[in-house]
Amino acid sequence: MELRRAAKEELGALKGPIDEIAVDKAEAYARDRMRILARSSFKKSPDAPLGEVLVRKQQRREKGATGRKLR
């Protein structure tokens, strides 16, 4: 959603009679901004060891947590 908003802000700022150079500049700036936002929006995190995950899940089950809510 943030990517679409970034593009809309840049291209929506152009109003009235505009020349082709201004359109190209705005489009290039919007494309660059979207690329930067896309790169910064996803961050990889290392996987947890399987043993730790299983212990954590077992503890949650013992507490009675249901996880996802049923509709």
pLDDT, position 1: 60
Residue 69 lies in a domain: no
State the Cα–Cα distance between residues 49 and 71, nearest whole angstrom.
32
Instruction: Provide the domain limits for residue 2.
Output: 1-43
pLDDT tens digit sequence for 2-41: 767 777 777 777 777 888 888 888 888 888 888 888 887 7
Residue 55 lies in a domain: no
State the Cα–Cα distance between residues 32 and 21, nearest whole angstrom.
16
Residue 63 lies in a domain: no
State the total domains in the chain. 1
State the Cα–Cα distance between residues 29 and 23, nearest whole angstrom.
10
pLDDT, position 70: 55
Query: Average of pLDDT values for 34-58?
Result: 84
Residue 58 lies in a domain: no
pLDDT, position 28: 87
State the Cα–Cα distance between residues 45 and 7, nearest whole angstrom.
28
Residue 26 lies in a domain: yes
